[in-house]
Amino acid sequence: MTFRTRLLLLFTISIVAVVAIVEALVLAQTRRAFERSEGQRAEALVAQFRKEFDRRREEIAQDVKRLADSDAALNIAMAPDPERWVNDAASLASAHGLELLELVSGDGTIISSAEWPARFLYKEDWLTPTDTAVLRREELPTGMTLALSAVREVTAGERRLYVIGGQQLDEKLLSTVVLPKGMRVLLWRDLGGNDLPGLGPLIERVKATKAEQTATIGSGAAAETFHALPLTGYDGSLMAALLVGSSRRDLVELEASQRTVGIAAAGLGIMLGVGLGWWATARVTRPVRQLAESAGKVAAGNWGATVETESADEIGQLARAFNRMTGELMDQRERLVQAERVAAWRELARRLAHELKNPLFPLQITVENMQRARERYPEQFDEVFREGTETLLAELSKLKQIIGRFSDFAKMPAPSMQSVSVNELVGETVRLFAPQLEQARIRAALEIDPNVPPIQADSEQLTRALRNLVLNAIDAMPDGGTLTLRTTALENGARLEVIDTGQGLTPEECERLFTPYYTTKTHGTGLGLAIVQSVISDHKGRISVESAPGKGTAFRIELG
Amino acid sequence: MAWAATAADGLNSAARELARRTAAAGNGLVGVSWRNLASVPPDAVAQAKAIFDSIVRTTEGTDAQLTISENAASGMLVEEFRGQVWIATFRRAAGALPGSAAIETRLLWEQEEPILDVATLDDGFLVLTPTGILQTSNKQRARITPSKPWPRDLRGRLRVDGPTVQVTLPGVSCSGAWSPEWSLRCGPGSDLVAGRNYFSAKVSFYSAATADNWTLLALTDGTTGIFNASNERVGTITGWGSDIAAANVRCGGAPVVLATRPGEGRDSVQAYAIVNRSAKAIGQPVEFAGAVTALWPGVAVVKNGSYRAYAISIVCGP
Amino acid sequence: MRFRLCAGLSLALFAAAATRPHYGGTLRVEVREAVESADPPQTGPGMADLNGAFAITRWEAGRRAVFQAEENAPGGRPFVDSVDVQMGAPLRERVIDLGRADVVEFAPGELRQAPAGQRMWSSSPVKLIALVFGPKVEDARVREALALAVDRGAIHRVLLQGQGEIAGGLLPQWISGYAFLFPTTTDMARAKSLVAAVPPAARAFTLAADDRTMADRIAVNAHDAGLTVTVVTGNADVRLVRARILSSDGPTALAGLAATLGLPEPARVDSPETLYAAERALLDGFHVIPLAHTPDLYAVGLRVHGGPGITPLGEWRFENVWVEERGR
């Protein structure tokens, strides 16, 4: 990842992060405000319900008290024959505005029941007088229900009568509650079976704790927050619960719009960030990139690469330092090249002097012999003259060879690139040297990679280099051995290896191997590997050697 | 009067017949229980039992349940013996449908203070009043002072057995002796409900009369219920007043009960024969000049300004 | 305690209470059932019994019938000139007060509406109230469970106001003399165990009755035993019926009841034991569950004398009844 990209990302992430944090804060505030408002509304509704509930309880208690204080109740209490009153509860209930009414004798026997007339003489076990109406379960012919009931005792001498009157607790009670928009009220009654799907877990919590509970049911715009108010019976057990639900649609929609705005802001921020970042990073990274490019050029060999800068900041300082560095490098390279030239000339002069000195000495001796012979032994002069001229011509021929090689080395042309098949080249070389190899008792092993692609090369120069290597290998195996020629396809070219099983080279010899005139052989000019190196270098390739004494030598050429 | 001999003979014959069948069917000791659902007097029942036991080796038990029952036409002795049912009928007492009776009254005592009950002594009477017991022969009084005021329509019962006396008043019971000196101890608790004018047992009633195995109760609902020995209600008599009393006499073989008639104003007392769980008026009622404020076996108290206590008795006609 | 006088009557009435019978006047009778037939009934207790001593002079089906005394009636002319029968009056209109009627029929359950201490004519228990099963309830255990579950005592005490008697058999005690042999007590434990052995689908059935309260009470008792009884009108699996006993002779009464209740003709009877066996056989299988025997009940006004005007079988005998004229 480039520095610029990193900078861009950093910018963008920073902006997005800020937007996200702000968005989250706003959402949280909104939610808190909504929930506060919703809580207040729910409390108001609960208070309304409680008021109505308490009013009903009082009303029922008053109705029951009025009935208990009436002459009718007293007559029934005094009557020793309760059987005659079996039908009276219904009319008394109607007259006193009660939905449910039971008249029960002192021993708990039902005398008359308005809600279930057939239950006369059954036992009623809840006979504790109450000041106000309480919640209890009531069995009706149609099933169980919940009722707000009050109990009053009527005494007439030793006789007692219990008046148990009340009203059913059902949805009618809820109709008195005024509901704001988005809110609803439900009544759960513990009569077995949960007829409020979705609210089961909340109801279970209320059952377990007998305290007010709150929960959000559903998701998205359909979500509702429910407040559950427990309603306990006369025995303290939970009998019902009032559930006040507030729709969260408004909050959800508000949050959705806020989220949309946030996303839009983030998007804008990203674009802004990208734009700003691009501009900013460009200002920062451009000089860095230029620096990097220049460094790359330097690495590639263009030591004269410089960076243009006008800024006075650190990047400018760096650029100027870079320029100074490349300038130094150039100077040093100039000097080095100069020195290398001088060294090479010196080396070449030395080598030439060395090479030339050898044939020149016998030349001088021969001429001196011929002079001596003319002067001292004129009768032997013809003989001496003939031998001496033969020696002179031989040495002159060597001189010509030496000078010829130098000339060849000096006037090696630039390679003429064309598509060359390395495998074919290897094959031809092996065929060319086959007799020689056989004679030298050297086995040629070919490991040809068929996937080696054609490369751009000068076929003639490459052939020459390969022949030099093969000749060196043959020279390295005087007692025979194996010459392995291996081609390998590379990603962008080919590798060619020439491996012998000769005596190997020491590390020092490996270092100096490609130096002109360096040779380990007793014959030769020592230019062969230098020529190979020069060819490979002209082809922009690499050549390396791997060897160890007694382990043979491997020359590796990579071209592409 | 003893139950008609023919009827008793009939029951005995029935007992004999069933005993023979039982002896033939049962081996050894037979557990036997008896119950009387009919208007058969106890001595007749005992006789029948004795005859049965003389034929069958019996002990207390439930192998055989013998029930004296009756329908409109006849009496029957029903035996449930080890899942079998045997029935032997017998003719009911001839003349069980009663003929006539006359009520005789004799003035015993009169006073202004309310009379609750009167008991006859050799020389004079003991008169139960709201304030205590008056001994008419020597004008001595045994004071009874209640802790609370007496209820309206005060009622009281006086029983004398030799020198001992027992008094029942609402919420108060007294016992003691009138001879040689008065000694009376009173305490709370009574068959008469405190502060009220009725008795209370399993049901509330104003007065009661026994008729053989049945108990008639003038209930506070205005009806008179007939209850058997197991305290189950087996019949209802309507049209009687709240005061009934056993006459301790039998006319036509049936027990006689006296009853006032319902309504206000002047009262009368009618004699009824109790037959087959229904009441048949016998004879003419005796009319009084005022309201009957108390009717106990042998005594009627009438208020017409002052209070008058009468001895009341029945004479059976042909 | 004394009972209140009916309004409007003077004390002088009592002074004349023990006089000789008076000729004249109209006996005003109110009955519950409205006889809708085009002609007056000729059989059964009630108006048909007036024939001979009285002759019908006016017949308004379902509403009113007027009978005039026959001068040449067997045993002498009846005391009253006429009998005016109002039919089908609802309870609230059947009142003795205000002198509107002299004899008012009450059902046992209606007795609580009658003033306390009211004079009554009562027959012997002549009407059988029973549950009659149709063919749909095939499982005898269900029928037996219902028989064990129904609380006859509560029905008798409350709904029948203690009138009549609880019934375990078809014939009342006053006819058979052995009615006590038929069990009447509830045994809820056994009822429940019988129901538990019955497949759930067989535990539910319908009950039709003209007395809704009694049917509801039976349904409640059945529910306690595990049976589901739904009270309906019209056709039902079980019917609550009232069957009248028309004879005080045991075998005749039994045969009549068997015919009315759809039971087989009873076996020949020649003794109380065989009568019992025949009745027992009819009740085997619990196709009929007797509940109670109730009497005919009439509240009788103060101006009516010479009664009771009904026989133990509930037959009308008004020829010896006489009425006080107003103001006399």
Q: Are residues C133 and C229 in the same domain?
A: yes
- Structure confidence at residue B2 (pLDDT): 34
The region, left, alpha or beta by phi > 0 then psi within -120 to 50, assigned to residue B49 is alpha
Q: Are residues C242 and C99 in the same domain?
A: no
Q: Are residues B149 and B115 in the same domain?
A: yes
B52 touches chain C (CB under 8 A): no
Interface of B with A in 97-156 (CB under 8 A): none
Q: Are residues A462 and A501 in the same domain?
A: yes
Q: Are residues A436 and A549 in the same domain?
A: yes
Q: Are residues B68 and B112 in the same domain?
A: no
Q: Are residues C56 and C189 in the same domain?
A: no
Q: Are residues B117 and B85 in the same domain?
A: no
Gap between the Cα atoms of A552 and C68, Å rounded: 162
Written as one string, the DSSP assignment of A249-303 is: HHHHHHHHHHHHHHHHHHHHHHHHHHHHHHHHHHHHHHHHHHHHHHHHHHHHT-T
- 3-state helix/strand/coil string of A454-496: CEEECHHHHHHHHHHHHHHHHHHCCCCEEEEEEEEEECCEEEE
Q: Are residues A454 and A550 in the same domain?
A: yes
Percent share of chain C, pLDDT over 70: 88
pLDDT band for position B318 (50/70/90)?
low
Q: Are residues B157 and B220 in the same domain?
A: yes
Is C5 a member of any domain? no
Averaged pLDDT for residues B26-46: 86
Is A218 a member of any domain? no
- Structure confidence at residue C3 (pLDDT): 31
C216 touches chain A (CB under 8 A): yes
- Which of A353-369 are b and which e, b meaning 16 or more Cβ less than 10 Å from the residue's Cβ? eebbeebeebbeebeeb
- pLDDT at residue A444 is higher than 80: yes
Q: Are residues A158 and A114 in the same domain?
A: yes
Written as one string, the DSSP assignment of B245-311 is: EEEEEEETTEEEEEEEPSSSSS-EEEEEEEETTEEEEEEEEEE-SSEEEEEETTEEEEEESEEEEEE
DSSP summary character for residue C159: I
- pLDDT at residue A365 is higher than 70: yes
Is C1 a member of any domain? no
Q: Are residues C108 and C175 in the same domain?
A: no
Q: How many Cβ contacts (< 8 angstroms) between chains B and C? A: 96
User: Contact, B124 vs B102, CB < 8 A?
Assistant: no
CB contact under 8 A, B221 and A80: yes
- Structure confidence at residue A194 (pLDDT): 57
- Structure confidence at residue B317 (pLDDT): 67
Question: Which of A284-293, A480-489, C233-242 shows the lowest per-residue confidence on average (mean pLDDT)?
Answer: A284-293
Instruction: Quick: pLDDT tens for C9-50.
Output: 332 222 222 345 667 899 999 999 899 999 999 888 899 999
Is B95 a member of any domain? no
Mutate to test the interface with C, among A76, A83, A103, A113 (most CBs of C within 10 A): A83
Coil, helix or strand at residue B204: strand
The boundaries of the domain holding residue B271 are 101-316
Q: Are residues B82 and B146 in the same domain?
A: no
- Structure confidence at residue C109 (pLDDT): 82
Looking at A357, A377, A410, the residue that finishes a domain is A410
Q: Which element (helix H / strand E) includes A135? A: strand A134-140
Is C32 a member of any domain? yes
Q: Are residues C175 and C269 in the same domain?
A: yes
Handedness of CA A359, A361, A364, A369 (dihedral sign): negative
Instruction: Quick: pLDDT tens for A266-295.
Output: 788 778 877 877 787 677 767 777 778 888
User: Contact, A263 vs A231, CB < 8 A?
Assistant: no
User: Contact, C186 vs C149, CB < 8 A?
Assistant: yes
Is A535 a member of any domain? yes
CB contact under 8 A, A84 and C217: no
Is B124 a member of any domain? yes
Is B239 a member of any domain? yes
Q: A400: which 2 tokens?
A: 């010509």
- pLDDT at residue A515 is higher than 70: no
- pLDDT at residue C328 is higher than 60: no
Higher pLDDT, A152 or A282: A152
The one-letter amino acid code at A492 reads N
Domains identified in chain A, total number: 3
Averaged pLDDT for residues A364-381: 88
Averaged pLDDT score across all residues of chain B: 86
Mutate to test the interface with B, among A75, A81, A105 (most CBs of B within 10 A): A81
Q: Are residues C139 and C269 in the same domain?
A: yes
Instruction: Quick: pLDDT tens for C157-186.
Output: 899 988 899 999 999 999 999 999 999 999
Coil, helix or strand at residue A382: helix
Averaged pLDDT for residues C251-261: 96
| Distance between start and end Cα atoms, chain A | 28
Q: Are residues A555 and A443 in the same domain?
A: yes
Higher pLDDT, B295 or B253: B295
Question: Which of A197-206, B245-254, C53-62, C70-79 shows the lowest per-residue confidence on average (mean pLDDT)?
Answer: C70-79
Q: Are residues B116 and B157 in the same domain?
A: yes
Gap between the Cα atoms of A51 and A55, Å rounded: 6
Q: Are residues B78 and B221 in the same domain?
A: no
Averaged pLDDT for residues B28-35: 89
Q: Are residues B187 and B278 in the same domain?
A: yes
Is B267 a member of any domain? yes
Q: Are residues B143 and B247 in the same domain?
A: yes
- Structure confidence at residue C95 (pLDDT): 63
- Structure confidence at residue C279 (pLDDT): 97
Q: Are residues A402 and A462 in the same domain?
A: no
Q: Rg of chain C over CA atoms, in angstroms?
A: 22
- Structure confidence at residue C72 (pLDDT): 79
Q: Are residues A379 and A477 in the same domain?
A: no
CB contact under 8 A, A120 and C158: yes
Q: Are residues A553 and A429 in the same domain?
A: yes
Residue C240: which of C216, C210, C219 has the closest Cα? Answer: C210
Higher pLDDT, C323 or C259: C259
Interface of A with C in 191-230 (CB under 8 A): none
B56 touches chain A (CB under 8 A): no
**Long-range contacts, stretch A29-36, CB < 8 angstroms, 24+ apart:** A30/A251, A30/A254, A30/A255, A30/A258, A31/A251, A31/A255, A34/A248, A34/A250, A34/A251, A34/A254, A35/A225
CB contact under 8 A, C158 and A117: no
The boundaries of the domain holding residue A111 are 58-170
Which range in A274-283, B57-66, C116-125 is most confidently predicted, on average pLDDT?
B57-66
Is C6 a member of any domain? no
pLDDT band for position B99 (50/70/90)?
low
Domains identified in chain C, total number: 2
Q: Are residues A353 and A484 in the same domain?
A: no
Averaged pLDDT for residues B174-188: 92
Q: Are residues B253 and B274 in the same domain?
A: yes
Averaged pLDDT score across all residues of chain C: 86
Domains identified in chain B, total number: 2
Q: What is the CATH number of the domain that holds A71?
A: 3.30.450.220
How far CA B147 is from CA of A68, A157, A539, B172, B187, in Å, comes to 30, 16, 146, 9, 10
Q: Are residues A448 and A333 in the same domain?
A: no
Q: A62: which 2 tokens?
A: 């008053």
DSSP summary character for residue A81: -
Instruction: Quick: pLDDT tens for B196-210.
Output: 888 988 888 989 999
Query: In 10 A of CB A376, how many CB atoms?
Result: 11
Q: Which element (helix H / strand E) includes C108? A: none
Gap between the Cα atoms of A531 and C153, Å rounded: 137
Distance from CA of B204 to the nearest CA of A (A): 6
Looking at A410, A427, A451, the residue that finishes a domain is A410
The one-letter amino acid code at C62 reads G
Q: Are residues C142 and C247 in the same domain?
A: yes
Closest residue on chain C to B243 (Cα):
C1
Averaged pLDDT for residues C95-115: 77
- Structure confidence at residue A364 (pLDDT): 86
**Long-range contacts, stretch C9-15, CB < 8 angstroms, 24+ apart:** C9/C302, C11/B264, C11/B265, C11/B266, C13/C302, C13/C303, C13/C324, C14/B263, C14/B265, C14/B266, C15/B266
Q: Select from A83, A84, A118 the Cβ nearest to the Cβ of C217.
A: A118
Helix, strand, coil fractions of chain B, as percent rounded to 5: 10, 50, 35
CB contact under 8 A, A118 and C154: no
Q: Select from A80, A84, A158 the Cβ nearest to the Cβ of B203.
A: A80
Gap between the Cα atoms of B219 and B242, Å rounded: 7
Is B82 a member of any domain? yes
Burial of B211 per CB tally in 10 Å (0-12, 13-18, 19+): buried
How far CA A298 is from CA of A308, A328, A406, A459, in Å, comes to 15, 12, 33, 31
Q: Are residues C283 and C318 in the same domain?
A: no
Rounded to 5 degrees, φ, ψ at C236 are -155, 170
ipTM over 0.90: no
pLDDT band for position A324 (50/70/90)?
confident
- Structure confidence at residue C10 (pLDDT): 30
Q: Are residues B170 and B286 in the same domain?
A: yes
Is C91 a member of any domain? yes
**CA A305 from centroid of its chain's CA atoms:** 38
- Which of B87-97 are b and which e, b meaning 16 or more Cβ less than 10 Å from the residue's Cβ? bbbbbbbeebe
- pLDDT at residue A519 is higher than 70: no
Q: Are residues A373 and A490 in the same domain?
A: no
Is C52 a member of any domain? yes
Closest residue on chain B to A84 (Cα):
B221
Is B310 a member of any domain? yes
- Structure confidence at residue C146 (pLDDT): 97
Q: How many residues does chain A have?
A: 560
The boundaries of the domain holding residue C177 are 127-294
- Structure confidence at residue C9 (pLDDT): 32
Q: Are residues C84 and C186 in the same domain?
A: no
pLDDT band for position C98 (50/70/90)?
low
Looking at A118, A139, A170, the residue that finishes a domain is A170
Q: Select from C1, C3, C176 the Cβ nearest to the Cβ of B263.
A: C3
Higher pLDDT, A515 or B294: B294
User: Contact, B147 vs B181, CB < 8 A?
Assistant: no
Q: Are residues C207 and C275 in the same domain?
A: yes
Residue A502: which of A476, A526, A525 has the closest Cα? Answer: A476
- Structure confidence at residue A180 (pLDDT): 80
Q: Are residues C81 and C190 in the same domain?
A: no
- pLDDT at residue B96 is higher than 50: no
Is A48 a member of any domain? no
Averaged pLDDT score across all residues of chain A: 85
How far CA A482 is from CA of A438, A446, A558, B39, B217, in Å, comes to 11, 10, 22, 150, 147
Percent share of chain A, pLDDT over 70: 95
B30-36 and B58-60 strand pairing: parallel
Is C319 a member of any domain? yes
Q: Are residues B157 and B272 in the same domain?
A: yes
Q: Are residues A468 and A402 in the same domain?
A: no
- pLDDT at residue C327 is higher than 50: no
Closest residue on chain A to C215 (Cα):
A118
Is A360 a member of any domain? yes
Is B96 a member of any domain? no
Instruction: Quick: pLDDT tens for C286-323.
Output: 999 999 999 998 888 888 887 778 888 999 999 888 88
Looking at B61, B90, B119, the residue that finishes a domain is B90
Is C25 a member of any domain? yes
Q: What is the CATH number of the domain that holds A520?
A: 3.30.565.10
Q: What is the CATH number of the domain that holds C259?
A: 3.10.105.10
Question: Which of A340-344, C217-221, C311-315 shows the lowest per-residue confidence on average (mean pLDDT)?
Answer: A340-344
